Amino acid sequence: MPMVEFVWWPGTDAFLSDLENVISATVAHISSAPGCLRIFYGLEEEDRTKFWMIVVWQSHAHHQAMMDSPDYALMVGRLRPYFGGELKMNHVEFVHGEGPAFGAPITTISFLKSTKDSGGDEVDETLKSLTKSSGAVGATWGQTQEDASLKIGIFGSEMDESHPSSSFLVDSNVETIHVRFKEVFVAE
């Protein structure tokens, strides 16, 4: 099953003012790695300084091979001056694949933290309700490889300015953001 890598960081002014030129070498590097299927990027709607990149890998092994390559550190090193804060990363194998959510006009990404006493069942129920949201496309979810208590849910939407289909996700254990992704690579 494909593995989806979420990478995000607050960008510096220099990065944000020349985003496409700065990120193009990174996209070229990642897209040339065996097993890279698709790459998307965009800025978070809630905080336009946060850059998000999504890489869909054929498998976790393909992603790991790219990270283990000798030139990986150089690629990350080229980007480091453009980090305006901490780089964060999560990896997920979605239960229904990544589907069309990242290609929609707006992609909703929800980070759902299960509480100790819930056992994750409440999180699963919340995420299942995404598929019933009006206007939602490609709703899916999966557990992060980094944290057994964290799941990520995604869905795409045609909505432009507001995001009513995710309004039910307001909860202290849920963080929801929205990104207008641009697809910059598709494997042939």
Give me the percent of the chain exceeding a pLDDT of 90. Answer: 66
pTM: 0.89
- Among 81, 83, 89, smallest CA distance to 10 is for 83
The domain spans of the chain are 3-93, 102-180
First to last CA, the chain: 18
> pLDDT digit string (tens) for 51-76?
999 999 999 999 999 999 999 999 99
Tokens of 52: 């998000």
Residue 141: the pLDDT is: 87
The sign of the CA dihedral 32, 38, 44, 45 is: positive
| CATH architecture of the domain with residue range 3-93 | 2-Layer Sandwich (3.30)
Indicate if 102-180 has the same CATH topology as 3-93: yes
Confirm or reject CATH 3.30.70.100 for domain 102-180, answering yes or no: yes
Categorise residue 51: left if φ over 0, alpha if ψ from -120 to 50, beta otherwise: beta
